[in-house]
Structure 1
Amino acid sequence: MTENTVTQAWFPAGPFPNGICIEEDIAGRLATTFCRRLNPFASQTFRMMEHTSIHVRRADHVGFAVASLDESLRFWVDGLGAQLVRTGEMGGEFLGQVTGAHGAQVRMAIISLAGQTIELLEYRGLNRSTVLAKPFDPGFAHLALVVDDIDAILARIATYGWKAQGIPQPIASGARAGTRVIYVVGPDGATIEFMQPPASVQDL
C-alpha cells in the first residue's frame, strides 16, 4: 500500500467568501482553487490512500413512486409478467427519516422481473405536484429492459396507459449497433427504456 500527501491551507480572498485553497500536489507544484471550508482557519494534511474502506457491493433494487399501487401492479404483473414478491405498509418516524416524507403513509410492493427487484411505493397523506416530470428533466431516472420484440411490447403496454415517446430507433454504431431503443412513459410519469438487440445477438 502506498500513500501520497496533499497539503491544503485556507486564505481569505476578498470577494470570494469561501476563500482560496492553495494545494500542493504530489510533485510539489502549487495549484490555486476556490473552495469551501467548515473551519476556514485550519490547515490540514489529507492522506489519500490507494485503497479505501468504501466499497459498493451491489445494486439492490430500483424504486418507483406510483399514484395507485393496484394499477401499477396490474401493469407490472399482468402486463409485463413480473412476479409479486411481497406487499406491506410503512409510516411514522422511520419513513420520514429515510425518505423525507414526514407524516405520510405508504403502501408498497416488491416485484421481480428478469432478475431485477423493483419497489413500488404509493404514498398517502402528502400534497403532490400535479405536473409530471419529463424523462429529460434533471434528476429524472429510468429503468432499461431488454426485450425480444419491442413492437409487441409497445402494443401490449399501451392498453395499460403507457406511451412510447416516439418511434423505436436503432443505435447506429458501437458495441450495441443495431439495437432498437425507445422510452415509454406511464400514467404516473415513470419511464422505462425498452431495448431490442439485433437478431444476430439474440440468437447467441
Structure 2
Amino acid sequence: MTNQSLLPQNVLEIVHTAIAVSDLQHQIDFWQQVLGFTLEGKAEIGGSLPEDETGVPGIRSKIAMLSKGGQTIELYQPVAPQGRETYRPSPVDIGSWHLALKVTDLDELVQLSAAWGWRVRGKVAVVEEGPGPVGARLVYLHNTDGTILELVELPTAVRER
C-alpha cells in the first residue's frame, strides 16, 4: 500500500500534451503562424520504444515538438499501422479533452483560425459570475481532426495585473 501523503510529491510537472493530427505540416504551420508556438524539432519514430510504451505493434509516427510560455505540445501524425480512426468527441463525451489558451484578441484569433479549418463550436460566451474571472470571453474551436481548443480572453483589468 502506498502512503497517500506522498503521492502528490511524485508528480513534478507536465512534460507535454500530445495531439494526434492527420496532417503534421499543416498543424505545425497553424501552431506557429496563428498561435505563435516555436518549433523545437521534428522526427519520425517507430520501433520497440513506442511499441512498448503504447502497446501498439508496428506503431510509427511523424512527430513535432512545439513550445510557448513554458508549455510543450507534441503533434504527432500516425503513419503505421493501418486501420486508424478519427475521434471527434463532443465536449460532454467521457474521455474528451481540450486545451485552453489565454489570448489577447479572441475575435482576431477566431477569424485567423477559420482560414486553417478551425470552427467555432458554439458561440463566444462571457463569464458572468465566479469562480472564473468575471468578464472573461471564452470560445471553443474544433478542427476536422477532432481537436478542441478553448480560447480565453481575460478582461482588461485582470490582464493588467
Q: TM-score, normalised by structure 2?
A: 0.89
* Paired residue total: 158
Which residue, 122, 127, 145 being the options, matches 1:188?
Answer: 145
| Structure 2 SS opposite 1:103 | coil
Q: Which has the larger radius of gyration?
A: 1
Change (3 A) 1:49 1:137: closer
Deviation at 1:152, TM superposition (A): 0.7
Identify, as 1 or 2, the structure richer in helix.
2
- Greater relative contact order, per chain length (Cα 8 Å cut-off, separation 6+): 2
The yes-or-no answer on 1:166 pairing with 2:133 is no
Change (3 A) 1:50 1:159: closer
Change (3 A) 1:84 1:49: closer
Change (3 A) 1:149 1:49: same
Q: For structure 1, list consecutive stretches of 5 or more residues without a partner in the other structure.
A: 1-45
Deviation at 1:101, TM superposition (A): 2.7
Identify, as 1 or 2, the structure richer in strand.
1
Residues 127-142 of structure 1: pairs in structure 2 closer than 5 A:
127-130=83-86, 132-142=88-98
Provide the rounded CA distance (Å) in 2 between the counterparts of 1:50 and 1:128.
39
Q: Is the 8 A contact 2:128 2:134 kept in 1?
A: yes
Which residue, 65, 82, 92 being the options, matches 2:47?
Answer: 92
Report percent identity of matched pairs. 31
Partner of 1:38: none
Residues 1-150 of structure 1: pairs in structure 2 closer than 5 A:
49=3, 51-52=5-6, 55-125=10-80, 126-130=82-86, 132-150=88-106
Q: TM-score, normalised by structure 1?
A: 0.72
- What RMSD, in angstroms, separates the aligned Cα atoms of the two structures? 1.8
